[in-house]
Structure 1
Amino acid sequence: MTAYGGRPDQARRDAITVEIGYALFSAAFAAAVLFGAVAGPALLFDLPDTLERVLIRLGLGMAPVLFAARVISVLTRFHQHTAQQTTQPSQPGRTNPDS
């Protein structure tokens, strides 16, 4: 999937762009759901002040961690998938393309 000089061609750049977008949007969605699940009760119900602060701070602390973990896992999985595709021999069963 490389063109002249080892630079990625347009299809590879498009695949990378789509994968980065997917990683960011899915991570943002997962972080928002986690924040809503943890801090939501504190925002919706009349809870004691200490419990409200704990839940909101816990949600604010966990959401960025989940966001980063999701982005890293998606992009790592994509990198591993593309690395497997490029290391396969061009002709199955042969170790050298000139054989």
Structure 2
Amino acid sequence: MEHHGGRRGQAERDAVTVEIGYALCSAAFAAAVVFGAVAGPALAFDLPAAFSVLLVRAGLVIAAVLFAVRVVSVLLRFQRSGQPSQPGRTRPDS
């Protein structure tokens, strides 16, 4: 969003709000899926205690890292893409 000086319009603020919401929701979903895939066997089956703890902790760490990476990547991609100059219109090169 290339906005030099001045205030952002309502449409720009709404676009940023929607993008932040999308980044958080998609990151939470991806983190939950990865946590379930990594820690799921430890929660579903009767595994040795040390192995269960290892899987759950690994799932938490991987899910947290994935959450942060997903949020940052979505917001950076949004920042680089810019927005159409008029609502409802796309740029000719898009």
TM-score of the pair, normalised by structure 2:
0.82
Higher relative contact order (CA 8 A, sep 6+): 2
Contact 2:27 2:68 (C-alpha < 8 Å) held by counterparts: yes
Query: 4+ residue stretches of structure 1 with deviation over 4 A?
Result: none
The alignment status of 1:36 with 2:41, answered yes or no, reads no
Structural mapping, 1:48-63, within 5 Å: 48-63=48-63
Number of matched residues? 85
TM-score of the pair, normalised by structure 1:
0.78
Partner of 1:22: 22
CA change 1:49–1:2 in 2 (3 A) is: closer
**Bigger fraction of residues in helix:** 1
CA-based RMSD of the aligned residues comes to 2.3
Contact 1:32 1:63 (C-alpha < 8 Å) held by counterparts: yes
Contact 1:20 1:75 (C-alpha < 8 Å) held by counterparts: yes
For structure 2, list consecutive stretches of 5 or more residues without a partner in the other structure: 86-91
Partner of 2:82: 82
Task: Give the letter aligned to residue 42 of structure 2.
Answer: A
CA distance in 2, matches of 1:65, 1:25: 15
Contact 2:2 2:82 (C-alpha < 8 Å) held by counterparts: no
For structure 1, list consecutive stretches of 5 or more residues without a partner in the other structure: 87-91, 93-99
